[in-house]
Amino acid sequence: MKGFLGLVALAAVSAAVFALGAWRRGSDGKPILHVAKELPLTVNVARPDRREIVQLVQAPGDVEAVREVEISSEIVAKIEEMPVEEGNLVRRGQLLCRLNDDNLLAEVESGEARVARLNAAIRQAEADLEKAERDYQRQLRLAEQQATSANEMFDYLIVFKKAKALLDMRQHELVEAEAYLQRVREDLKRTIITSPIDGVISKLNAKAGEVVVTGTMNNPGAVILTVSDLSRMQVRAKVDEVDAPLVKAEQPARVYLQSDPAKPVPGRVVRVASKGTKELGRDVVTFETLLEVLSNDPRIKPAMTANVEIEVDRHTDAITVPVEAVVHRMRKDLPEELVKKFDAQQAELGLSDRARQAQYIKVVYVMDQDVARVRLINHGIADTRWVEIRGGGGVGVHDVVIIGPYRSLDQLKDGRKVVLASEEEKKKLAAGRKKEEPPQGQTAESQEKSAPQDQDQRVAGGASP
């Protein structure tokens, strides 16, 4: 009962306030109860302008040589000689390292002796087989004359077969011994390690007297040194998954070294990985992108850290507005006509009602006299300062776009009164309007006849703040 009485009292008070607001004094016509009007928002403005706009994708990366070889040993041995040092220039075929070969030389001698012994054994087995075959043939002739028994003939047959099998065995042993000898000789050659390319010793991990080991599937072998061809360098960058679809081979790029970020180095995209990677402990997916450095700048060294800017798109004559002018608004905060137009543009997507209601719409507010009007935009590419407005985007080069401040943009609605922030803003706006006016003695009709037919080719006269 008390709650009902409270609602009745609140309704009565509201009715009294509106009644007082409607009553006016007879002398001056002003209302008895004065309610303050909504104050205009103070705004900054700019005019759209035609300019070249470049869309860039930024990513971190590491510098490395295009041709870089890690030299490892294929045998377990001690380093006997190391005639190079880190930073030395080397040529292809030049000696880099010599390993101890005493054991291998002994194995070569042993293998050669075994091959010689088996060759002698084969000659003996061939003689034994020849004698066994001759004895068996004689027994066959005697059997035809019934001058020998069947058991004796079978004994000679067995001796003949055993001699033949022994010869086959000796021949197979010779093949095995020769293969072993060949492998040992190849290992002996591997004790001499030469440079496979022309380059620089970029990293030295071992020295004379150390023992190097070979690698396995789960345990990489010891890397003795690294040879890098510094005449061609590349950057292995990590592009975020959001930007990866924009990056393609042959796109131009700039490489900014951490050591000298003021002087970029030109480059180009070579390839983009088809599968993303995720670092351990992080949920960010990146795509490895390889960029060739198009310069022989001596500042570039392997393992340097760099940032790359990849040019993914460029428009030379685009109508642009400052990025501050583009704001996001919920559907319920925008006029119904604008929302319907936006839904018509999104009809091909086939979104559900729930997904459509959750969408934010990109709009721009323009200053029409002293009132803010909302415009739906068809935006194109963007950089860090400008956003391209495509044809039919709702904003022209003669409009005055509201760009700030942020607190005003946050409160802006269609039809809200606005006022320029300062006299300087007013002067800029007036200067822009003056440039658009026809010269003295020329009417607007004559100016229209002399102007180009394509209105998009005209450049706005106003300057951006």
The residue among 305 and 437 whose pLDDT is bigger is 305
Q: What's this model's pTM, rounded to 2 decimal places?
A: 0.65
> What are 285's strand-pairing partners?
278
The per-residue pLDDT of the chain, averaged, comes to 82
Q: Tell me the pLDDT band of 27, cut-offs 50, 70 and 90.
A: very low
pLDDT in tens, 414-431: 999 999 877 665 556 555
pLDDT in tens, 348-381: 777 777 777 778 888 999 998 889 999 998 888 9
In this structure, what is the dihedral angle of CA atoms 94, 100, 101, 106, given to the nearest 10 degrees?
A: 170
**Tell me, what's the pLDDT at 462?**
34
Tell whether the model's pLDDT for residue 7 goes beyond 90. Answer: no
Tell whether the model's pLDDT for residue 446 goes beyond 50. Answer: no
| DSSP-derived pairing of the beta strands 41-46 and 418-420 | parallel
Cα gap 169→36, rounded to integer Å: 115
Tell whether the model's pLDDT for residue 9 goes beyond 70. Answer: no
> What are 68's strand-pairing partners?
228
Closest by CA to 57, choosing from 393, 303, 286, is: 286
CB 153 within 8 Å of CB 137: no
CB 197 within 8 Å of CB 227: yes
Q: Kindly give, in sequence order, each residue whose CB lies less than 8 Å from that of residue 240, ignoring residues fewer than 6 positions away.
A: 59, 284, 285, 286
**Tell me, what's the pLDDT at 424?**
62
Q: Tell me the pLDDT band of 13, cut-offs 50, 70 and 90.
A: low
Cα gap 6→9, rounded to integer Å: 5
Q: Which residues of 312-332 are buried (b: 16+ CB within 10 A; e: fewer)?
A: bbebeebbbbbebbbbebebe
CB 41 within 8 Å of CB 365: no
Instruction: Say what percent of the chain tops pLDDT 90.
Output: 46
CB 287 within 8 Å of CB 276: yes
Closest by CA to 74, choosing from 189, 199, 226, 195, is: 189
pLDDT in tens, 42-90: 999 999 989 999 999 999 999 999 999 999 888 889 999 999 999 899 9
Lowest mean pLDDT among 143-147, 236-240, 282-286: 143-147
Q: Tell me the pLDDT band of 213, cut-offs 50, 70 and 90.
A: confident
> What are 345's strand-pairing partners?
none
The residue among 185 and 390 whose pLDDT is bigger is 185
pLDDT in tens, 311-326: 999 998 889 999 999 9
